[in-house]
Amino acid sequence: MYRVALTGHRTLGKDFSVKVLENTLVELMSEGADTFYCGMAMGFDLLCGEMLCEMKEGSGIRLIACIPCADQSAMFSKAALRQYKRVFENADEHIILHDRYTSGCMFERNRYMVDHSDVVLAYLRTQKGGTFYTVEYAKKKQKPILYI
């Protein structure tokens, strides 16, 4: 049994395949992944969260919503807010690091997920931003990284 941190860009590129992501999550579960940390950001995070909500029933996996600040979804679009609420409501646990947005809280959330995971599943296409930071932090912590 092992834990997986999910990290990826808010905008999914033309190269992104939902089917590849779904197959990867199923493969991780078949190899013993039983806990998934979702950062609850738009894009990759919430897509993974929704897929895992659908896969959870009868599988024994746990979905942990790692929320950097209680007001994280305040600026989300209506569609993203609906996604956020579905994942939030179906998560087995909610970890909320701050009541309100604070400088650096997103990076703190990312470090928390890496520190509590055994493997990082990443959709990384640019060498900047939160996903890049998270992957670099995971490398420093010598965590295996599986790229989508």
pLDDT digits over 14-63, tens only?
999 999 999 999 999 999 999 999 999 999 999 999 999 999 988 899 99
pLDDT of residue 83: 96
| C-alpha triplet 14, 16, 21: angle, nearest 5° | 165
Report pLDDT digits (tens) over 51-80. 999 999 888 999 999 999 999 999 999 999
Query: How many C-alpha atoms does 92 have within 13 Å on its Cβ side?
Result: 13
Question: Rounded CA gap, 15 and 125, in Å?
Answer: 10
> What DSSP string runs through 84-131?
HHHHHHH-SEEEE--SS--TTHHHHHHHHHHHT-SEEEEE--SSSHHH
pLDDT of residue 2: 96
Nearest to 3 by CA among 96, 57, 66: 66
Question: In one letter, which amino acid is 143?
Answer: K
The rounded Cα 22 to chain-centroid distance in angstroms is: 14
pLDDT of residue 57: 86
Tell me the pLDDT band of 8, cut-offs 50, 70 and 90.
very high
Please say whether the beta carbons of 36 and 61 come within 8 A. Answer: yes
Rounded to the nearest 10 degrees, the angle between the axes of helix 78-90 and helix 44-56 is: 40
Report pLDDT digits (tens) over 101-136. 999 999 999 999 999 999 999 999 999 999 999 999
